[in-house]
Amino acid sequence: MTKLIVASDSHGSAVTLQGVLDKERDADALLFLGDGVRDLDTACGPFPGLRVYAVRGNCDLAALEPPEGVAPFDGVNVLYTHGHLYGVKSGLERLWYAARERGAQLALFGHTHIPLCEESDGVTLFNPGSVGRPWRGHATYGVILLDKGRIVECRHEKAPALWE
């Protein structure tokens, strides 16, 4: 079983992201979907063994991270991107097609700040929401469990408040 933590749009909330990582210490990897890549150094500092996969978002000016990536985890190919280059605020079709073209069963994206999980014809589209600036409700992140080529679970969790 592989446990992935998915976070996006921290926008300067490195402490909140660090709280997520502290809460999810048994995670195998963090996939960070942009708009706050500078927060990663602070947030991930106490977790030197954590594998981190990161892409830049539309607010990550001058960041060197790529705009997207594809990586296999426990037999599941994962496309991860911020989402702005696919117009995810207007629809998810372009992202879905990109996942299919790359052989990905799971497409992770941010940018909208709104949690989402939906499956469409063999591709699961997942947005963890915003760990730093949610547009409504609480700050959130995602937990994904994979096992031998299967997506076992995709869920949203409330990010720990700074005072917890």
Question: What pLDDT is attached to residue 133?
Answer: 86
- Could you read off the pLDDT of 90-138 as tens digits, one per residue? 999 999 999 999 999 999 999 999 999 999 999 999 999 999 988 888 9
Contacts of 163 (CB under 8 A, 6+ apart): none
163: pLDDT strictly greater than 80: no
Q: Which residue ranges form the domains of the chain, and what is each CATH number?
A: 2-158 (3.60.21.10)
DSSP states of 136-156 = SSS-EEEEEEEETTEEEEEEE
164: pLDDT strictly greater than 60: no
Strands of the sheet containing 29-32, edge to edge, are: 51-54, 29-32, 2-7, 140-147, 150-158
162: pLDDT strictly greater than 90: no
Contacts of 52 (CB under 8 A, 6+ apart): 29, 30, 32, 40, 44
Mean pLDDT score across all residues of the chain? 96
- Virtual torsion, Cα 157, 159, 163, 164, nearest 10 deg: 30
Q: In terms of Cα–Cα distance, which of 5, 3, 6, 11 is closest to 129?
A: 6
pTM (global) more than 0.85: yes
Q: Are 133 and 11 in contact (CB under 8 A)?
A: yes
Question: What pLDDT is attached to residue 32?
Answer: 98
Contacts of 61 (CB under 8 A, 6+ apart): none
- Across the strands, what pairs with 77? 72
What is the pLDDT averaged over residues 48-67? 96
Question: What pLDDT is attached to residue 24?
Answer: 97
